Amino acid sequence: MIHHDTVAVGAGTGRIKFAYHFDKNLPVFEALDTVGGLVRTIEYKNCKFDLAPHLLHLRNPYVRELVFDKLGLEVENHRRKAHIYYDKTIIPYPFELNLLNLSEQTKKDCIEGLDEVKSYNKEEEAEIRKGSYRDYALKCFGKGIANHYLLPSNRKIWDTEPSEMTCEFMSHIITADKEQIRKNAFEDNTDSFGYNVEFYYPIHKGIQDLADIFARQLTNIKFNTSAIFFNTRNKTIEFSDGSIVKYNKAVSTVPLQTIILNSDRDDLKALAKELVFTSVYTVNLVIRGTLPDTHWMYFPDKDLSFYRISFPKNYFKKSTPADEQIIAVEVGSRNHNLSIEEIERKVVEEIKQMPIFKIDELVFVHSIKIPVAYCIYEPKRPAIINKLMSELEEAGIYQSGRYGKWEYAGMQDAIMDGKVLSEN
């Protein structure tokens, strides 16, 4: 048996950033042969595919200084070009501030719905956000905007009825001004809006560059070593190579549900199974042809299987050889056993029929499954995660990162989470 005071399980973005801040010689056990977890890049047939599109929205001064100045991540700065395909028309994102070019009926529905709701101050809106996402969309935007876009779009992303979701995932989302919505419905919108107006993207390997710059600072990463059982009472972790590690403290990015189900805590497993999530299937179509000049696009139409498409070549020139491009199509589902071959077939068929793409040649298709992608914000979620995480902390296991803490968080959050946890 090996003894360590503190260990890290997983070399995802959260754990390597914790190790960077805490102890660069900290033992880090990683199941794969590379770092990054789900924020990594796969190379296949001279193309580079992120597991799912990941962009850097770094607004925190500490994070920007660390990543850009101290560690020297080389990136390209981009002004957001995001769009929505609705009414057989491409409009800029966000939907509510770009009603101008939609059909007259859709625009009429949206304006009339907006007229039926009152304006709320911050305190009143905060109260509304304590309810379901459906209530928020209807009360703050009216039936038109809610039913044409907000509700169907989020229903597809989360594969969950908005009436069954809380608004906790919206902490970074600002509600648009109603007068601006009305004004923009009849004239071009020249304003940018939202938390992701600008973003950065690494210029060499893809998003893998972010994990690599942190990993180069660390000296004790053990690859191809998967944690298979957590004995919380004895404070030991059994790994796939047969080794057993005795710890005092363990920092983990293993999904909260997964770590409980692979532990000695039989008393908590039924509770852990109540946590729900989507899997995301990213179907990458490598093509020759002409694509829209956008970074990503949302598709709220219920008749389409996917909720978003990204176009990596428009922000990462090295993603493909010169004359090829990638259509990265995301399909989300709470069914975790879908046939990826069937998803591919359906997506390719749908993409070929869409007039916004001019595909001269489909070179090949490469698909990736993210088993745990979006943690669903149901009303019961806070009590469950508080119970599970407090029980793990009593056993010296500290959960971190998007899946470890079972939350909707970005890469900036992961960096700060690692820093704060190391200090605490």
pLDDT bracket for residue 397 (50, 70, 90):
very high
Size (the chain), residues: 424
Q: Which overall architecture, per CATH, does domain 2-78+202-275+377-423 show?
A: 3-Layer(bba) Sandwich (3.50)
> Which residues, at least 6 apart from 136, have a Cβ–Cβ distance to it below 8 Å?
128, 129, 167, 170
Same-fold call for 2-78+202-275+377-423 versus 277-375: no
Omega before residue 94 within 30° of 0, cis:
yes
Sign, Cα dihedral of 196, 38, 420, 61:
negative
**Contact indicator for 376, 166 with CB cutoff of 8 Å:** no
Mean pLDDT of 200-226: 94
**Contact indicator for 81, 314 with CB cutoff of 8 Å:** yes
CA–CA dist 64, 228 (Å, integer)? 36
Helix (H, G, I), strand (E, B) or coil at 128: helix
Q: Could you list the beta-strand ranges (E) of 302-356.
A: 308-310, 325-333
Mean pLDDT of 355-362: 96
Question: Looking at domain 277-375, what is its CATH homologous superfamily?
Answer: Protoporphyrinogen oxidase, mitochondrial; domain 2 (3.90.660.20)
CA–CA dist 13, 11 (Å, integer)? 7
Reading the block at residue 341, the tokens are 């071959």
Helix (H, G, I), strand (E, B) or coil at 28: strand
CA–CA dist 94, 298 (Å, integer)? 10
Query: What is the tens place of the pLDDT at every residue in 173-190?
Result: 888 889 999 999 998 877
Whether the model pTM is above 0.85: yes
Domain segments of the chain: what residues? 2-78+202-275+377-423, 95-184, 277-375
Chain-wide mean pLDDT for the chain? Answer: 93
Query: What is the tens place of the pLDDT at every residue in 297-356?
Result: 999 999 999 999 999 999 999 999 989 999 999 999 999 999 999 999 999 999 999 999
Residue 194 has pLDDT above 90, yes or no: no
> Among residues 138, 104, 98, which one has the least CA distance to residue 298?
98
pLDDT for position 190: 72
Q: What does 152-218 look like in DSSP terms, one character per residue?
A: HHHHHHHTS-GGG-BSGGGTTPPPPPHHHHHHHTSS------STTSEEEEESSSSTHHHHHHHHTT-
